């Protein structure tokens, strides 16, 4: 089963670039060897950051020839097409054991979607970097233009 933790990364802001490297380092420690970090990056990410990410185990880089702007936050969702299970995360938030336990509980539940809200400011129904899905189930639902019932959430 292909399990991906997908991130978007553009620019040279340390909050995001350092965070990307740290998350890539944490994934094997926190999730073990069954998950892969995948970073969808633009050409303006500093080369030393890209090289560091490439050197880390269980880490994939997808170079996108796209303009580095806010639309980049959506790149990570491309992983739905290339995984069995995918979770979407932000590079400025660290991977944690608490998160892993929540993901494991979700996977054992048989539900299609996983939504994390663990802070008072997480007020949106789905935060862009705090959800995941069983890819084939969600794609089937979208392709069939079906409403996603509450029992899948």
Of 4-18, 24-38, 43-57, 118-132, the one with minimum mean pLDDT is 118-132
Whether the per-residue pLDDT at 124 is higher than 90: the answer is no
Consecutive H or E run containing 55: helix 47-55
Domains of the chain, first to last: 3-152 (3.90.550.10)
- CA 108 from centre of chain: 19
Reported as a pLDDT band with limits 50, 70 and 90, residue 153 is very low
Tell me the C-alpha distance between 116 and 105, whole Å.
Answer: 12
| Rounded CA Rg of the chain | 15
Looking at residue 140, what is its pLDDT? 56
Q: Which of 42-56, 69-83, 90-104, 139-153 has the lowest mean pLDDT?
A: 139-153
**DSSP conformation class of 77:** G
pLDDT above 80 for 118: no
Please say if the pLDDT value at position 139 is more than 60.
no
Burial of 40 (0-12, 13-18, 19+ CB in 10 A): buried
Phi/psi at 87 (5° precision): -120, 145
- Looking at residue 53, what is its pLDDT? 99
Q: In what order do the strands lie in the sheet with 113-115?
A: 59-63, 35-41, 3-9, 85-89, 130-134, 113-115
Does position 39 have pLDDT exceeding 70, yes or no?
A: yes
In contact, 69 and 91? CB cutoff 8 Å: no
């Amino acid at each position: 089963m292909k399990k991906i933790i997908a991130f978007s990364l553009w620019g040279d802001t340390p909050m995001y670039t350092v965070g990307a490297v740290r998350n890539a380092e944490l994934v094997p420690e926190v999730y073990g060897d069954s998950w892969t970090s995948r970073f969808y990056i633009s050409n303006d990410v500093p080369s030393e950051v890209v090289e560091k990410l490439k050197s880390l185990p269980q880490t994939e880089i997808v170079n996108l020839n796209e303009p580095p702007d806010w639309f980049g936050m959506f790149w990570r969702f491309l992983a739905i097409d290339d995984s069995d299970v995918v979770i979407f995360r932000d590079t400025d938030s660290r991977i944690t054991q608490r998160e892993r336990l929540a993901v494991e509980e979700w996977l054992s539940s048989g539900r299609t979607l996983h939504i994390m809200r663990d802070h008072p400011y997480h007020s949106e129904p789905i935060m862009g970097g705090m959800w995941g899905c069983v890819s084939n189930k969600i794609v089937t639902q979208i392709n069939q233009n079906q409403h996603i019932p509450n029992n899948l959430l």
